[in-house]
Amino acid sequence: MIPRLKPDLTLKEILALFKSNRKDDIEQYELAFASLMGQSHAINFPYGRTGLIFLLKALGILNQEIICPAYTCVVVPHAIVKSGNEPVFVDSSDYDFNADWDQIEQATTDKTAALIVTSIFGHPANLDKLAEYKKRHPSVIILQDCAHSYAASWNGMSVQRAGVAAIFGSNISKIITSINGGMVTTDDAELAKKLIQLRQEHVTPPTLLNDIKRRVYLFAVWIAFSETVYGFVNAMERAGFLNKLTRYYDENLINMPNDFLLGATATQGRVGKIQCQRYNKIIADRRKIAIYYHDHLQGIGDFILPPMITGATYSHYVIRTAHRNELMSYALNHGIQLGQLIEYCIPEMAAYKHRPGSRIPCPVASSMARETINLPISIGGSIKKAAKIVKVLKSYASIQDEKSNPCLQAQ
């Protein structure tokens, strides 16, 4: 079975699991990460969300409003709330899934302390619009959420550098992984110093047992995501046996995972560094597959394809369809797992709908939550696999066409 996502791992990362720890493994990873992002500092945190909490703290933002997309990972507003601030949600653009700039403008008030610019699915945020926004609102602090985009760029400008700081997540579903973990990058030396100090004060160093568990986890992931084994893993997932590993939110709660203050192990540093070294190849493979989908899925069924934007890094290749569930089960029966990544519009969720920051209607985000589906993109640049996926999608669409147009059946 072709899985909906797959960490891009080689034997190098797996061998790194069996090496002994060195004191500077994490530091080496941070240096490699900062250099990859073209930034002066990269500070590792247990999660991207942990990094965001401490970033807001380090910037002295408290009891303020922070604008973020309604259509993003729910852990982002969770971190804003945990930092003592209020997330204000804005609707998405139908074009690129990112927050709509007119909506951002309307949501900005004198209570707005920061804007979290998000390049969702690796579609780079429009940095020209951001520059105009900054001119109009010089006091609003710009933070970049690059958990999906990594080094995506807009007209040659890297998104992660267009703000005071950027956050990244690096669990196994991300473009590059350090088993789990997150990073904050910045060019501001003072801010970096504060972040390191906050990490020292609040993040607990991992134990030997944590290290062993994380090594075993990545090794298990490597095996579980191989095509022969994944069918079994998927069956377990559907039977609910893996809920603890795969469910990352509870509709009713604003919470953090138990280990959100547990620091990274040296092993994670070694794996992360190797992934940084392989970044260009990983991105090239993703772009190749995105282009293939784009060229071969035009005009098929009711699919709405994502935009092809130069500089996009395609953490996900997301299409929209009114028949998501049927398509997903049809594909599964043909050996392909499609994914539903963000199947919620945050201000409509039980935990958020009565909050003051959920005051703006978000109809576009709401329909995206019902319609988006992501195709496997981390398939090692294999056109053969992409062709198989396209074939299944086309055969599904032609069955739909026949159903909706019985004359075709008679021909």
Ligand X SMILES: Cc1ncc(COP(=O)(O)O)c(C=O)c1O
Rounded to whole angstroms, what are the CA distances from 275 to 40, 131, 173, 179? 19, 32, 13, 11
Task: Report the residue number whose CB is nearest to ligand X.
Answer: 169
- Shortest gap between Cβ of 310 and ligand X (angstroms)? 21
Judged by beta carbon, residue 47 or residue 396, the one nearer ligand X is 47
Would you count residue 48 as binding ligand X (CB under 6 A)? yes
Would you count residue 214 as binding ligand X (CB under 6 A)? no
The DSSP code for 262 is B
Per the CB < 8 A criterion, the answer to whether 365 and 343 are in contact is: no
| Encoded tokens for 39 | 């930034």
Question: Cβ of 94: how many Cβ atoms within 10 Å?
Answer: 12
H or E, element range at 43: strand 41-45
Would you count residue 76 as binding ligand X (CB under 6 A)? yes
- Shortest gap between Cβ of 145 and ligand X (angstroms)? 5
Would you count residue 317 as binding ligand X (CB under 6 A)? no
The DSSP code for 339 is B
Judged by beta carbon, residue 1 or residue 147, the one nearer ligand X is 147
Judged by beta carbon, residue 45 or residue 279, the one nearer ligand X is 45
Would you count residue 89 as binding ligand X (CB under 6 A)? no
Phi-psi region of 337 (alpha: psi -120 to 50; beta: other; left: phi over 0): beta
- Shortest gap between Cβ of 51 and ligand X (angstroms)? 8
Interface residue with ligand X among 73, 113, 195, 297 (CB under 6 A) is: 73
Would you count residue 75 as binding ligand X (CB under 6 A)? yes
- Kindly give, in sequence order, each residue whose CB lies less than 8 Å from that of residue 203, ignoring residues fewer than 6 positions away: 45, 46, 50, 261, 262, 263
- Shortest gap between Cβ of 338 and ligand X (angstroms)? 18
Q: Which stretch binds ligand X (CB under 6 A): 9-17, 144-152, 286-294, 302-310?
A: 144-152
Sign for the CA dihedral angle at 190, 196, 200, 203 comes to positive
Interface residue with ligand X among 53, 147, 309, 373 (CB under 6 A) is: 147
Would you count residue 99 as binding ligand X (CB under 6 A)? no
Q: Which stretch binds ligand X (CB under 6 A): 17-25, 42-50, 212-220, 325-333?
A: 42-50
The DSSP code for 98 is S
Q: In DSSP terms, which residues pair with 318 in a beta bridge?
A: 374
- Shortest gap between Cβ of 169 and ligand X (angstroms)? 3
Interface residue with ligand X among 25, 145, 285, 371 (CB under 6 A) is: 145
- Shortest gap between Cβ of 250 and ligand X (angstroms)? 15
Write out the E strands in 258-386. 317-320, 372-375
Would you count residue 263 as binding ligand X (CB under 6 A)? no
Give dist(CA 214, CA 211) in Å, integer.
Answer: 5
Pairing of strands 86-90, 65-69: parallel
- Shortest gap between Cβ of 357 and ligand X (angstroms)? 17
SS3 375: strand
Q: Which stretch binds ligand X (CB under 6 A): 43-51, 60-68, 283-291, 349-357?
A: 43-51
Judged by beta carbon, residue 47 or residue 303, the one nearer ligand X is 47
H or E, element range at 276: helix 266-277
Pairing of strands 165-169, 157-158: unpaired
- Shortest gap between Cβ of 118 and ligand X (angstroms)? 6
Interface residue with ligand X among 28, 171, 367, 382 (CB under 6 A) is: 171
Rounded to whole angstroms, what are the CA distances from 205 to 96, 200, 211, 263, 364? 40, 9, 10, 5, 42
- Shortest gap between Cβ of 74 and ligand X (angstroms)? 9
- Kindly give, in sequence order, each residue whose CB lies less than 8 Å from that of residue 100, ignoring residues fewer than 6 positions away: 90, 91, 92, 93, 364
Give the largest Cα separation in the chain, rounded: 72
Judged by beta carbon, residue 177 or residue 400, the one nearer ligand X is 177
| Encoded tokens for 69 | 């997309």
Interface residue with ligand X among 129, 148, 194, 320 (CB under 6 A) is: 148
- Shortest gap between Cβ of 165 and ligand X (angstroms)? 13
Interface residue with ligand X among 41, 49, 287, 320 (CB under 6 A) is: 49
- Shortest gap between Cβ of 364 and ligand X (angstroms)? 17
Residue 407: CA count within 13 A, CB half-sphere: 0
Judged by beta carbon, residue 178 or residue 400, the one nearer ligand X is 178
- Residues at the interface with ligand X (CB under 6 A): 47-49, 72-73, 75-76, 118, 145, 147-148, 169, 171, 182
